[in-house]
Structure 1
Amino acid sequence: MFWEEEREENPVYRVPDDVVDVVYSIRCKCLPLDHAHSFSRAVCDALPWMETEAQAGIHLIHGAESGNGWMRPEDPERELLYLSRRSRMSLRVPRHRVDEALALAGTVFDIEGHRLEVGEGKTRRFSTQSTQFARYVVVPGEIGHEDEEAFLRWAAEQARGLDVRVRKMLCGRAHVIRHPDGELYTRSLMLADLEAEEAVRLQQSGIGSHRKMGCGLFLPHKGIRAVHEVSADQA
């Protein structure tokens, strides 16, 4: 007789909602190209708990990338980032702060003289997409900001500390963000071939410092080729 017990199927992974992104429509014509610090201060003044919530983060606002005859501005001292009606503002918040974050609708921020009106917000759970991308990860002070290999070793160690296995990882060119205490040297970072749980953990915890200035926050991405295209746009 041949007898084989039915195998128990792996349960479907359900994305937890203990940390989510709150995504808002906005009305804003333009912002300073480097608005990280001024935007962070405005949001934290309106939501003081942001600064003490370890898993909270403030995504920077982005316009279009270079393409179709339009060149993205690159001079943070003088140039402006022009936004479209499709531009969005996003905050990463723990579940118990969602209602307070949603109450931000109707707030008007003054970002270095530019008016930003916050519209209605909606919650969005994290993605299980296998490729995750952070535009800005702060390079630790003990690592030379031009030492790409040292940065990758450090980033891999941080990922493993989150129980994220590093299979494919790529960093992009360096980017400088203005800060009153001194410039922040950052690099973009992509991790690919992640399991669903790993992708979510990476979004929940992030890598590196200055999450309230848009750094270390991961979002789903199309893949390695698209990351190369973003790096080329930023070059």
Structure 2
Amino acid sequence: MYVDLNFRLTAQDPVPVDHGYPLYAALSRLLPVLHQQNGIGIHPLQGQYLGDGQVALRSDSCLVFRTHVEQVNELLNLTGKSIQLRRSTILIGVPQLKALVAEPILRSRLVVIKVKGRNAAQLDEKSFQTAVKKQLSACEVSSRSLVEIRRRRTLRIKEKTIVGYEVVLENLAEEESLQIQIQGIGGRRHMGCGLFKGYRTSENSTEISGSAGHE
């Protein structure tokens, strides 16, 4: 059984929008098991976009791990610890466990897939959509589901820039929705990529959940 483990966060200073890699690196220094457990996903932090590549965490901002329940006890060791993201010191609070909920519409802010024969400059929405559909088919998701490729985004890992897209999936059956939330699409789940959650079109567009730079 997979769940979302939510740690409430406290921070005085903003964090970078592109924080997927530094967040993973900071957490791994506190909990080296994150280097070994490839099944653990780390959601992008959510907050209010301030401009200039910065996000302010809110009172309800959380550090969220998508993980199997058997790994929860190890993650609980983060309670009360602090991490540094650029100039921001972030205190990790008490966690709350939440079961995954089947939603007919899911969204991931950034999905990264290595598309054969395409480098970053050649990657376009059409080829990326084909790659997403191929992975959905492997997860036995029906062809009736709709795949919307949205904004092109990037993830910075040291000196390397990874290119991907925001993806919204619609018309999902209950089992399909849960399967996608558990397995994800593409790679770099430990850096916030390919993790899906329920989405409503009325969500505030000024809210940024930033594991990737926006273009």
The alignment's TM-score, normalised by the length of structure 2, stands at 0.87
1:115 is matched with which residue: 86, 89, 92?
89
Distance of 1:131 and 1:153 partners within structure 2: 19
Mapping 1:160-179, distance limit 5 Å: 160-166=137-143, 167-179=145-157
1:88 aligns with 2:44: no
Distance of 2:168 and 2:3 partners within structure 1: 20
Answer whether contact 1:130 1:192 (CA < 8 A) is retained.
yes
TM superposition shift of 1:141: 5.1
Q: Which has the higher strand share?
A: 2
TM superposition shift of 1:104: 1.2
Answer whether contact 1:55 1:204 (CA < 8 A) is retained.
no
TM superposition shift of 1:53: 2.1
1:27 aligned partner, one-letter code: T
2:66 aligned partner, one-letter code: R
Distance of 1:46 and 1:96 partners within structure 2: 19
Note the aligned Cα RMSD (angstroms): 2.1
Distance of 2:41 and 2:30 partners within structure 1: 14
Query: CA distance change for structure 1 residues 88 and 204 in 2, over 3 Å: closer, same or farther?
Result: same
The structure number with the bigger radius of gyration is: 1
The alignment's TM-score, normalised by the length of structure 1, stands at 0.80
1:97 aligns with 2:75: no
Where does residue 14 of structure 1 map in the other structure?
none
Question: CA deviation digits over 1:30-56, x for unaligned, max 9?
Answer: 212221111110112222222332321
Distance of 1:158 and 1:184 partners within structure 2: 19
Task: Give identity over the alignment, percent.
Answer: 23
| Alignment coverage as a number of residue pairs | 204
Query: CA distance change for structure 1 residues 226 and 144 in 2, over 3 Å: closer, same or farther?
Result: farther
Where does residue 43 of structure 1 map in the other structure?
27
1:216 aligns with 2:194: yes
Answer whether contact 1:21 1:124 (CA < 8 A) is retained.
yes
Question: CA deviation digits over 1:171-196, x for unaligned, max 9?
Answer: 11101121115101120111111111
User: Which segments of 5 or more consecutive residues in structure 1 lack a partner in the other structure?
Assistant: 1-17, 66-71
Question: CA deviation digits over 1:176-220, x for unaligned, max 9?
Answer: 121115101120111111111110100100011111110000111
Where does residue 63 of structure 1 map in the other structure?
47
Q: Which has the higher contact order (CA 8 A, sep 6+)?
A: 2
